[in-house]
Structures are given as structure tokens and as C-alpha cells.
Structure 1
């Protein structure tokens, strides 16, 4: 194992295990735990996880095409199509045409906005309770670290091709 710039450890091909650094094993474990929470149910929630994610993307800004939603959600187009159609069927999302544009756009309905606000409040309240139990961490500190991590990860993915 070598030390890289700014004290980061670099694994070499000679290392006995890809998990020779316990901190990397721990980080992967914690990231996987966070991933499991994407589908956490909230008592009293109106929306399922996929509808909430779709409405999260549609909440602000202009309507989105199915392709744009697929890219934003980083899922297969068939999965997003099924989820969007389910949200439309439940009355949370509507599909509409724009003159001069081939692809139809999607936007939240009033019912979808209300459900999103309701469920968003439930999620924010849970985060508030989590942070009141976390010491000495703060939401601002976690946000800064997560943003820095994700930005660095994106830069690495881009440079690795």
C-alpha cells in the first residue's frame, strides 16, 4: 500500500486483499446501509419510493421527458416507464405534449404535489430526529462531506472513462 497526495492510501496489486484497509471495508458497508434506506417506508406516507423519486425530479423546473427522467434516476428506461405509468395511474403525474416537440413531457399533478410535500415533510421530520440523536455531527457537516465525496467520485469516474 502506498500513500498518495494529501495522505490518501492507494492499494497496489501486491496487497493481499482488496479490503486490506478496514476503513474502505467500513465505508462500503455504510454506503450499502444507506442504499437500503432508499426504500424505507414512512408511517403515514402516501407515495411509494419510486413515485417519491419521480416527483423529486419533477418538483422544480420544467417538465421532463421519459429519457430525462431515466438519466436522472439512473435506471433502465423500461423501469422508469413502468414507474411513471404507475404514478400517472395513481394521479400523481401527468403526461403532456409541447408543440414542436416529439417527446411528451411529465409534470406533477396537484395531487402529486400535495403527496410529495406531505411525504417530504415526513422524511424531513425523520432526519430531524436522526440528527437530534447524532452527536457531535450536524446536518451541515454531513451535507458538506457527502457533497465533497460525491463530487470527487464523479471526477474520478469521469477521468477513469
Structure 2
């Protein structure tokens, strides 16, 4: 009886550790880290596509160059700013169990970064939420090109 009780406790503790380990990785990926699966970035100006990046290395380089950890929230979106360009981030949906990977899934927009003219200020639209940020001048210049 005592062995059975020890086995049940060990099984419960082991299961809890395994399930906690699986979910802990997900909670660390909150915020913009979910953009790591981006497969295409379009740069638009006045509604027209002026550049598309779809190479994985270029996307990775672009993402690192954003230096997201240095962005500072500025609160409310400024209304009188002139928009310069917009970067639109896309990825395909995750293939679900029973679906064929080559099912021809369309890419979905996952985020937008809108760059403004007067100052190093951007508007991020991610998961349906708009947030204004002040970005470092180097990042602003890189995006403004």
C-alpha cells in the first residue's frame, strides 16, 4: 500500500513538472517574441508595396536590428504625425493535426510597425492592440531608409 502511494505521488509530481515545463516556454514568448516565426515582411509607402523581404536570414537580421528591448512606450498615439512608411509582418497559420502542410495556406498579417516623420516614434499594431513607442535614433534611421 505504501509503495502504491509513493508511486502515485511520484507520478503526480512528474506529470506536473513535465506539463509545467511545456507551458513555461510559452509564457516566456509573450510580447513581440511571437514575431520570431515571421515569414515575410512588406514595406509600404502610401499604400504601395515598395519592398518585400522573405529570406529567413534577412528577416532575422531585420528583426535583430529593431532592438525591441530598447523601445520605450510613450502612452497615447500622437494624432498630428505624418506617416512615412509601414512594415507589415506575415506568417502562415500553424498546420493542425490532420491537415496537409501543402494545403496552400495563405499568409496572415500578424503585426504592423508604422513609422512617423518628425521624431523617432512608431506605432506597433500587434494582436489587435495599437501601442506607440519611442525608438532609438539608430533604429529609426534604419527603418527610415
TM-score > 0.5 by shorter chain: no
Larger RCO of the pair (alpha carbons < 8 Å, separation 6+): 2
Query: Where is the strand percentage greater, Structure 1 or Structure 2?
Result: 2
Shorter-chain TM range is: under 0.3
Larger Rg: 2
The TM-score, its normalising length taken from structure 1, stands at: 0.24
Query: Where is the helix percentage greater, Structure 1 or Structure 2?
Result: 1
The TM-score, its normalising length taken from structure 2, stands at: 0.26
